[in-house]
């Protein structure tokens, strides 16, 4: 069984809207609903993490989704790691494979979801990544330390997929060490487990600033 953790608990302060950006409509459909619907053919259970106080609003929005009866709305934490951990705790015992996705990426394609699922089944941990087109330099105190080999670099996207047992172990270890990562893959990496990378998609963009709304699908 596949379970989805949809991280939608951010305040969206950088976007500058009067409400969290994941609740804003695009062509009549809120971003949070667009993201959730993309996973309906693949996931038997979904946990949607929203800002505290927005649970009722989120429940009303997802009520008409095809698998609304399998969706749980839960308040997120102060940080992403805490939010995803709360979602993981809400997944049922029958879930074996977990997809973690950002509601701020509402245009994820079926092909990408399927690629991550296939990669996770083969390798237990899989993420999508985009090649880096620009030259990347490591800088400290205003000076270049070194130029990185962009051929070995990717820009990481979601969904990220993991076997449930592996992701639970990764969170347990991070909590024990007091470590906070920027995504779930880094927690798995810290266990010494290789994470497989499939090609990401430019259309799977993350909406952070209002300028990100330009040229949306």
pLDDT above 90 for 62: no
Cα(128)–Cα(87) distance, integer angstroms: 21
Q: At 24, is the pLDDT very low, low, confident or very high (cuts 50, 70, 90)?
A: confident
Above 90 in pLDDT, residue 19? no
pLDDT band at 45 (very low <50, low <70, confident <90, very high): very high
Band the pLDDT of 28: cuts 50, 70, 90.
confident
Domain boundaries, given as residue ranges, for the chain: 2-204
Least-confidence region, from 70-74, 118-122, 139-143: 70-74
What's the average model confidence in pLDDT over 6-10? Answer: 87
Predicted pLDDT at 14: 52
pTM of this structure: 0.92
Q: Percentage of the chain with pLDDT > 90? A: 71
Q: CATH code for 2-204?
A: 3.90.550.10
> 199: part of which helix (H) or strand (E)?
strand 196-199
CB 167 within 8 A of CB 189: no
Q: What is the DSSP string of 38-85?
A: HTTTT-SEEEEEE-TT-HHHHHHHHTTSTTGGGEEEEE--SSHHHHHH
Could you give the C-alpha distances from 164 to 51, 80, 93, 129, 133, in angstroms and in order? 24, 18, 9, 21, 33
In this model, does residue 212 exceed pLDDT 80?
no
Task: State the pLDDT confidence band at 160, using cuts at 50, 70 and 90.
Answer: very high
User: What would the mean pLDDT of 59-87 be, rounded to a whole number?
Assistant: 87
Residue 15 confidence (pLDDT) above 70: no
Residue 13 has pLDDT above 90, yes or no: no
List Cα–Cα distances, 126 to 116, 146, 211, 214, in angstroms. 6, 29, 29, 29
Q: How far apart are CA 146 and CA 140, in angstroms?
A: 10
Average confidence (pLDDT) over 173-187: 95
């Amino acid at each position: 069984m596949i379970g989805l953790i949809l991280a939608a608990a951010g305040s969206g302060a950088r976007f500058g809207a009067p409400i969290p950006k994941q609740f804003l409509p695009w062509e009549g459909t809120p971003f949070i609903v667009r993201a959730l619907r993309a996973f309906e053919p693949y996931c038997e259970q979904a946990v949607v993490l929203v800002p505290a106080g927005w649970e009722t609003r989120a429940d009303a929005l997802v009520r008409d989704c095809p698998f609304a009866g399998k969706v749980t709305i839960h308040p997120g934490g102060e940080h992403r790691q805490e939010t995803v951990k709360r979602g993981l705790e809400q997944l049922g015992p029958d879930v074996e494979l977990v997809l973690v996705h950002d509601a701020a990426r509402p245009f994820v394609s079926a092909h990408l979801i399927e690629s991550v699922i296939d990669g996770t089944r083969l390798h237990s941990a899989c993420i999508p990544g985009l090649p880096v087109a620009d030259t990347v330099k490591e800088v400290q105190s205003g000076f270049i330390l070194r130029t990185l080999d962009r051929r070995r670099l990717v820009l990481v996207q979601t969904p990220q997929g993991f076997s449930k047992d592996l992701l639970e172990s990764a969170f347990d270890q991070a909590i024990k060490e007091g470590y906070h990562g920027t995504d779930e893959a880094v927690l798995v990496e810290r266990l010494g487990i290789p994470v497989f990378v499939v090609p990401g998609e430019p259309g799977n963009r993350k909406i952070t600033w209002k300028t990100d709304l330009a040229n949306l699908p």
